[in-house]
Structure 1
Amino acid sequence: MPELKDLNNIYLIAAFIIPGLIISYMRSRFITGRMEKFSDAALGYLALTIVYYGFSIPVIGWILGFEQGLARTLLWWCLLIVGPTAFGLLLGVATQREWLRWTATKLKLRMVHNTPTSWDWRFANCDRARFVMVTLVDGSTVVGIFGVGSFASTNPTERDIYIEELMDIADDGTWSYRVEPTGILIVAKEIRYIEFKQEP
């Protein structure tokens, strides 16, 4: 890794690390929201940058056709900032929608899943309201609706959950809405497991 003492090294880092860093950051917004430490991920940023530049070769050739000036400088900055942002968004959406996994499955190939935990995968794919039943460590249960106003932590050390609307369970097992909508925050240490139900 080049040191920052030399101005040329700063230009090299701007050109070959920053685009990959931006791509990785934007992509992570659609998966877990977490990024690796820079020292651990620098090689990955470089690889992402090279792939991005590979797709950008026609644009680079077009920019080189401009004379030195403000327009060319702005286009270079767009290539270094705006382009990676858009590329990262595209990768994030593709990852969340599992387009590459779908393609691999059609080709009868197996891929390692990019989402690190089942918790991250399940809550990242809650595209509509779900009925959930949370069983607590003391054996009691909490039921309700996990919808757009709900939240599940992406912090791996604190898996708390906020359920936007609690429901009641009758003795015969039927679920019913409360007269006054009430949400609840459940801390990670109180959760034993969570069930997702199509219908209560």
Structure 2
Amino acid sequence: MDGILKPETIIFFVLFAVPGIVALYVRAQFLTGRMPPLGEGIVGYVILSLIYHAAIFPFASSFYATPSVRGWYAAGWFSLLFLGPAILGFALGLNIRKGWSKKLLSYLKINTIHPVNSAWDWRFGDCKECWVMAVLKDGTKWYGYLGTDSFMSSDVAERDIFIQHVYDYEGNDKPWTPKNTSVWIAHGEIQSLEFWPRQ
């Protein structure tokens, strides 16, 4: 325990793990909010921290040349170790949401593994207001409107959904009739979801 709490061990951790942890934590907020445990993710944190330091070094070489925690250097190191990685994580998360790098790689005919773990997370990660039909495993159909007061779980073990406005639909292109109710559909009951854009 004493070896872990040595000043040089703490400094090493702060320099070479904290930037990666901060960046991936902010990035995770654009995905599902989940991060691997520290023990499992430490290699990834260190690699991202090293890449970050290599990218930032040309612009902050004076801080690396004369390390200090006094005066403006303290603010500078705080920015280097926390603020900069947070901005990096925001950019990485926004990139995933907007699909910029995915589009570029597709244009170059390069296929990569998608960073979002499931179609559920991808569809509901940036869900705009829309109409929905939920078909349950017993054949029941729920017609509704997914708005700002609806909710879709991001928990892997609990893929439930709350539809804020429920409608009756008799088919044959008849209009949907509001029921002035909402519905919660439990995990494991959903067979399929069909979406229509808001009009």
For normalisation by structure 2, the TM-score amounts to 0.89
Aligned equivalent of 1:107: 108
Report the alpha carbon displacement of residue 177 of structure 1 after superposing the two structures with TM: 4.1
The offset of 1:114, in angstroms, is: 0.9
CA contact (8 A) 1:167 1:175 kept: no
Partner of residue 55, structure 2: 55
> How far did residue 64 of structure 1 move?
5.0
Aligned residues: 196
Are residues 4 and 173 of structure 1, via their aligned partners in 2, closer, same or farther at CA, if it must alter by over 3 Å? Answer: farther
CA distance in 1, matches of 2:188, 2:67: 62
User: Are the counterparts in 2 of residues 160 and 188 from structure 1 also a CA contact under 8 Å?
Assistant: yes
| Distance (whole Å) between structure 1 residues aligned to residue 198 and residue 171 of structure 2 | 17
Letter of the 1:35 counterpart: M
CA positional deviation for 1:174: 3.2
Aligned mates of 1:143, 1:192 — CA distance in 2? 14
SS of 1:188's partner is coil
Q: Give the aligned partner of residue 185 of structure 2.
A: 186
Give unpaired runs (5+ residues) of structure 2.
Answer: none
Deviations 1:129-179 (A, max 9, x none): 111111112211111111222221111000011112112112535342416
TM-score scaled by structure 1?
Answer: 0.89
Secondary structure of the 1:49 match is helix
For residue 91 of structure 1, report the CA deviation from its aligned partner. 0.5
Greater shift in the superposed pair: 40-49 or 184-193: 184-193
CA RMSD in angstroms, aligned pairs only: 2.1
TM-superposed deviation, 1:112: 1.1
Identity in percent? 29
Distance 1:175 1:141, change over 3 A: farther
Unaligned runs of 5+ in 1: none
Cα shift at 1:92: 0.4
